[in-house]
Structure 1
Amino acid sequence: MTAAGWSGEESEGPAGAGGRWRGLRFHIGRRLAALAEAEGQRWVLWLPVAFGAGVSLYFGLMREPDRWIGLAACGVCAALLLVLRRRFALFGAVMVLLMMAAGFMVAQGHSARVEAPVLTRMVTGAVVTGRVMAVERRPGATRITVREPTVSRLPPEQTPAMLRIRLPDRHAAPDPGSVVRLRATLLPPQAPAEPGAFDFQRRAWFMGLGGTGFATGAVELVEAPPVTGWQVVAVAFERARGAIAERVAATIGDPVEARVTTALLNGEQFGIPDETLEDFRNSGLAHLLSISGLHVGIAAGILFYVVRALLALVPFIALRWPIKKIAALFGILSALAYTLLVGAPLPTVRSVLMTGMVMGAIMLDRHPLSMRLVAFAGLVTIAMDPEGMLGPSFQMSFAAVVALIAALERGSPRLAEWRNEAGWFLRSLLYVGGILLTSVVATLATLPFSLFHFQQIAFYGVLSNLIAIPITSFWVMPWSLIVYALMPFGLEAPALIAMNWGDRAVIWTAEFFGRLPGASLTMPAMPMEGFAVLVLGGIWLCIWTRRWRWLGLLPILAGLASPALVTRPDVLVSGDGAVMAVRLADGRLSASGKTGGRVVETWRERDGERAAADPWPAAGGWSEGGRSLNCDALGCLYRGGGRTVALPRLPDALDEDCGAADAVVTAAVARRCRAGVVIDRWALRHEGAHALWLTEAGVEVETVRGIRGDRPWTGGR
């Protein structure tokens, strides 16, 4: 056989196949290397993502790690960087690991720094004495925040640093800064209503809130030294918020409009009726009621342009001083003052930081809107409040900003060409189109987070924002600044009335779009795995600039589809066993009582249901679609999936139920119960709320403790 023949046979043999495979790998590797080199300036944007991943890793642990672990991980990664400083690819990989370790260490350190006593049991008839630092005026009641309290039935080492207590409306609200004494029932911060639900205990831990409660007696004022230090500023702004609320109520007659105006001026939205809040949520305008980056940015921007325009009117100043930088400084100061006036909630603090960076970039002659600036702002804000990264405010605000800047990077060159060549009419259309595009991008960017946290989509959000945001930006917020300026002189009434005209238009917009048929859609809760995949896809899509960024759409679509793959529990039990619910044949939940408070509402929201089903009958029951519920004076029996769950109301029914049911759920103590699954008072106290799935294979159980583990905010260490 000739050499050519041998060559042809080898090309078809295993060696030839291996060569083609090596060639394909080489080709793919070369293309990926070219893409990586083309995106060279964008790689640094992944460092804040890695930092956030380290924070998420800390909060995802089932047990509190040893305090040396985060620091040790950072030390090891830093040493590896020195060793691998000449090998670019490995250096970059270790840098990512270093940022993850740093995020883990910062979250761990922040948790240790805020550690304070937390109530672990109900305390009744306690006499509480402490200084009032915040007053929340709500319909029918007032809620006060008391710092450094003394509690008659608790030793000092077990007394929380801060308590939040609800006062009946018949008692006058105390002034901020005053020291009060009252008798109250105190409760630990509420645990999640079901496995995977919002964890208020964790949020309270990082807020320093060690308990909540309600007053059972009159409030007495106690003589005490005046406030000192930073508390002077906090009390002054708290009193200013109260004065603003009183002035608005005295000027604006309609209570709903007055409450909305108050919310925009001092950040208090507690008194807005539930129906109005629902309209704002269904229309996609709820963000206008929460003081956020939009409001802070508008306030800073207005003062920036006003100061710059006034300084430009004086030739001596305009020709000699850097008026743009001076105006940026005023913008920073106005954002800071506005934040203090609305109570400095964490979302607003983050917005001030972002606004300050934008104004600082102007002062340093840098481009104020860039992805690197946002990345740095995200890094700083996560370091300031690691736990806040897990909340909807942080996620939705940064998602909107990142998506808008990514869209700006893609479209600004072409828009600039159109604007330069356009006349006044086309420029007006471009302006309107810009507002519309901004609303669309921001709505699409925040939609996944709305689904994950609130299980809701507002279909008319783009249209409603297209109307409401310009009204807020160009009418409501400018008048609000005038109100602030006139209020110290008692001349704010005309400005308040003018501001209220804009508020009335925003309320009308919310009512119109929020009450349209199909205004919003509710969906079952998105699983954490689907949410994580979706977020990574969104980050991939926004960070890269080449065509491979479109690969991010695949995990985004997978995450959006993930709720359809989740089976909701057949039986839910609250952490104290006071409320239970079973699933009907139509998929809705039927609760054990007529009212279940916030717990049942949370179950319904995570189910994606708007209306609650009828409660359990006192006697009798129903049977449909392979599911049934039968009740009598002793309790109820629920059947589904070929399994039976006993839900006894009285301990007398336990003996019979334990021998006949696959699972027994009771708020009493069930000793020596023979059922396969037994959930009683001790299990609820130790494990928290329970969720049960009934299948032919058996009864599957998931608990709050099984999801959260033992962490400082759960009572574990």
Structure 2
Amino acid sequence: MIPRRPHRPSRAVAVPWTGAPAWAAPLQGLAATLEAERTRWPLWLPVALGTGIAAYFALPEEPPRLTGAVLAGGVLLLVLVARRAVWISALLAALVALAIGFVVAQERAHGVAAPVLTERLGPVQTTGRVVLVESRPHGHRVTLADVSLAGLPPDRTPARVRVTQTRGPPPTPGAWIRTRAILSPPPRPSAPGAYSFPRRAWFERLGGVGFAVGDWAPVALAPALTWLQRLAAVRERVRLEVAARLRSGLPGETGALAAALATGERGGVPETVLENFRIAGLAHLLAISGLHMSMIAGLLFVGGRAVLAGVPALAARWDLKKPCALLALAGTAVYLMLAGATVPTQRAFLMTGLVLVAVLVNRVAISPRLVAWAAVAVLLAQPQALLGPSFQMSFAAVLALVATWELAAPRLATRRRSDGAWPDRLGRVVLLYLAGVLLTSLVAGAATMPFAAFHFNRVAVFGLAANMLAVPVMGLWVMPWLLASLLLLPLGLEGMALAPLGWGLDAVARSAAWVAGWDGASRWVPAMPAWGLVAVAGGGLWLCLWRRPWRLVGVAGLVAGLASPWTQPLPDLVINDDGRVLAVRGADGGLILSPGRADGFARAVWVARLGGESAESWPAPGAAAADGRLRCDPRGCVLRAGGVVVALAWHRAALGEDCARADVVISPLPLGAGCEGPGLVADRAALFQGGVHALWLRDGRARVETVAAGEGRRLWSGAGASAPDESP
């Protein structure tokens, strides 16, 4: 008898379904490609987490507190009862991450809840503990915590307020002070869809902003500080001392630039210099991020290794990379604290720290998983950072660079050569460095350009040329001397390094000014809709996170997002929240601004977002604009556009005729129910309640968007009035 073979379970083999309809073939190919990319699935974890966070912030109304918990519970229930197929498990993991993101954002928003002023106060005696002092070209800006306001009950008193001080020396961080100040609610956005300062202020527990009308004085019987408060105060005092020492050793704009690189404090840099850096595409050099953190880490790592290699006993017995990695890790941690631990510096420190830890455990240092875990850490700690330009631009740049490195590393590895005479080797090193700067600037600039266009409405045309000039100077000269200055500061010997540091900073500033002066150095971009930003982000992630050719589908998202600013018409009329500042679309496509200088911040935002400023001036009484659409008299103006008649009424004497004949009436006066003819009436109360109004006049109809409607009914969207004496 022939013995029977033991039964062995057969391995499942995917056999094409020959009877499948023609339309099923693409789906089978898609499934096969997705399966082949299984090792890349974890990289989408922070994307799912960020999607949940974005979903919370995108809601028009604040959801009930238990919404996040119910959502998370439902997803967990699905995880327990669903089939265990691989793709189902991956989908459920993404849903879990999405639910966690929603919950984290919602809990963070409720966890930082604090009273916000609802009206302008003051002058009122303001008492509080100094937690932050920021330099400004004309004075200082002081943030106070544990605030008390004379005459205001504790349940209506903000946890923090920010006061601009234009005279006298700044107070010391940690000190309890009192001063008289005029305070207002955090100013609302200056245009529908524009930057939301109230949302940022909510997460900073900042319930009021304003300016001091007198000198500050110390509080005699102040509460004792906790050890955490003392530690934070010491850190802020060190930052102020470092910035002051650098500014005193390098007077003028050079010292302000040095202080910005060392502490992240850019308030002392003249606006003209900052504008040159923005136009030239070099603003990232003044915002402490991955570039600066990696340079500091590299200098400490290489410098420490060079010193230790000079001791033969150590070099022969120890792997010098590991103690040098620890030195670099400690140094970057100190730099993080010195820079104020902002979102870009946190991301940069996490990335740099993970690279150094990888050196300690003998692992590959540069990988997209490194970026993914850094993003997860930042999003869990500060979910609101997802909406800011710092998070978006920094992670876009580093992800694009890592993806480019993945493609280029195998090719570079096959072309490494160490033979030849030293001049040849030196020449190859220099060329490789310049090529690296060129590639890095090109990739990072292309990755951040859409986000810069979305947030700042302009792009730096010659950013690549400016970076080729400035980045080598920054990396090879400025940062080494800055590190030397910081190391010598405790000894009082920083003057030995400040002079060469100043030479390098002057060279960088001159490069920025030179490139900014080129014709067409900066191009205006219309406001990008939210869906355009989503398309850009989704397309970029698809392109960078996958490895197979289907990644190129992401280019379609990038193209659609980049084209989105030109897919929607610009408004024909914009009115601020008190009805006294207006802008009308001129014949040349720009905005004709109403005369005066009131609400200058809103005017600047309108010009930046909505088409630039027209060459025309607001017509004088009795005159008209070039195209005849806008005519004015001493009592107001009339705008005729798109078959719509809009009356801009300044005096009550004009209201009778305007209400009878116009389709839309705009007035800073209270009209009540006496103006019933027009289809749309925006008087003082409506303008204050809705905030800035933008009107589109097309085909005999007026479409209006307001700041209040765009903000929705959220925790941070109270009806606060703008603070005319301070902009965010």
Q: Which residue is 2:684 aligned to?
A: 681
Percent of aligned pairs with the same residue?
Answer: 44
**Cα distance in structure 2, aligned partners of 1:278 and 1:487:** 30
Residues 159-215 of structure 1 show CA distances to partners (whole Å, capped at 9, x for unaligned) of: 11111101123x332222222211111010011111100000001111111110111
**Cα distance in structure 2, aligned partners of 1:249 and 1:50:** 45
Report the residue type matching 2:604 in the other structure. Answer: E
State the SS of the aligned residue for 2:349: helix
Q: Which residue is 2:515 aligned to?
A: 513
Report the residue type matching 1:664 in the other structure. Answer: V
Report the residue type matching 1:46 in the other structure. Answer: W
Q: Which residue is 2:607 aligned to?
A: 604
Q: Which residue is 2:697 aligned to?
A: 694
- In structure 2, relative to structure 1, the CA distance for the partners of 1:227 and 1:621 (3 Å cut) is farther
Matched, 1:524 2:532: no
**Cα distance in structure 1, aligned partners of 2:264 and 2:552:** 39
Contact 1:123/1:153 (8 A) holds in 2:
no
How far does residue 489 in structure 1 lie from its aligned partner after superposition?
Answer: 2.0
Q: Which residue is 1:240 aligned to?
A: 238
State the SS of the aligned residue for 2:634: coil
State the SS of the aligned residue for 2:696: strand
Matched, 1:180 2:177: yes
Residues 461-483 of structure 1 show CA distances to partners (whole Å, capped at 9, x for unaligned) of: 11111221121112111111111
**Cα distance in structure 2, aligned partners of 1:122 and 1:581:** 26
Larger RCO (alpha carbons 8 Å, 6+ apart): 2
Single out whichever of 241-250 and 229-238 deviates more from structure 2: 241-250
**Residue of structure 2 aligned with 1:68, choices 40, 51, 66:** 66
**Cα distance in structure 2, aligned partners of 1:59 and 1:547:** 34
- In structure 2, relative to structure 1, the CA distance for the partners of 1:51 and 1:247 (3 Å cut) is same
**Residue of structure 1 aligned with 2:466, choices 464, 467, 482:** 464
Matches within 5 A, 1:31-180: 31-169=29-167, 171-180=168-177
Q: Which residue is 1:490 aligned to?
A: 492
**Residue of structure 1 aligned with 2:373, choices 376, 384, 396:** 376
Q: CA RMSD in A?
A: 2.0
Report the residue type matching 2:264 in the other structure. Answer: G
Contact 2:624/2:632 (8 A) holds in 1:
no
**Cα distance in structure 2, aligned partners of 1:343 and 1:45:** 29
**Cα distance in structure 1, aligned partners of 2:90 and 2:56:** 22
Matched, 1:286 2:287: no
**Cα distance in structure 1, aligned partners of 2:404 and 2:623:** 56
| TM-score after normalising by structure 2 | 0.92
How far does residue 608 in structure 1 lie from its aligned partner after superposition?
Answer: 4.5
Matched, 1:566 2:568: yes
**Residue of structure 1 aligned with 2:326, choices 329, 351, 365:** 329
Report the residue type matching 2:491 in the other structure. Answer: F
**Cα distance in structure 2, aligned partners of 1:428 and 1:710:** 57
How far does residue 354 in structure 1 lie from its aligned partner after superposition?
Answer: 2.1
Contact 2:575/2:582 (8 A) holds in 1:
yes
Contact 1:594/1:615 (8 A) holds in 2:
no
Matches within 5 A, 1:582-661: 582-595=584-597, 596-609=599-612, 611=613, 613=615, 615-625=617-627, 627-661=628-662
Contact 1:621/1:628 (8 A) holds in 2:
no
Unpaired runs of 5+ residues, structure 2, are 1-16, 720-728
Contact 2:575/2:581 (8 A) holds in 1:
yes
Single out whichever of 310-319 and 493-502 deviates more from structure 2: 310-319
Contact 1:257/1:500 (8 A) holds in 2:
yes
**Residue of structure 2 aligned with 1:710, choices 710, 713, 722:** 713
> Number of residues paired by the alignment?
694
How far does residue 434 in structure 1 lie from its aligned partner after superposition?
Answer: 1.9
**Cα distance in structure 2, aligned partners of 1:531 and 1:245:** 37
Residues 539-568 of structure 1 show CA distances to partners (whole Å, capped at 9, x for unaligned) of: 111011111111111111111111111111
How far does residue 366 in structure 1 lie from its aligned partner after superposition?
Answer: 1.6
- Greater helix content: 1
**Cα distance in structure 2, aligned partners of 1:87 and 1:231:** 51
Q: Which residue is 2:479 aligned to?
A: 477
Report the residue type matching 1:711 in the other structure. Answer: R
**Cα distance in structure 1, aligned partners of 2:639 and 2:65:** 47
| TM-score after normalising by structure 1 | 0.93
State the SS of the aligned residue for 1:535: helix
Q: Which residue is 2:542 aligned to?
A: 540
How far does residue 112 in structure 1 lie from its aligned partner after superposition?
Answer: 0.9
**Cα distance in structure 2, aligned partners of 1:499 and 1:132:** 32
Single out whichever of 573-582 and 560-569 deviates more from structure 2: 573-582
- In structure 2, relative to structure 1, the CA distance for the partners of 1:123 and 1:613 (3 Å cut) is farther
Q: Which residue is 2:454 aligned to?
A: 452
**Cα distance in structure 1, aligned partners of 2:137 and 2:432:** 45
Report the residue type matching 1:216 in the other structure. Answer: V
**Cα distance in structure 2, aligned partners of 1:310 and 1:134:** 38
How far does residue 427 in structure 1 lie from its aligned partner after superposition?
Answer: 4.3
Unpaired runs of 5+ residues, structure 1, are 1-18
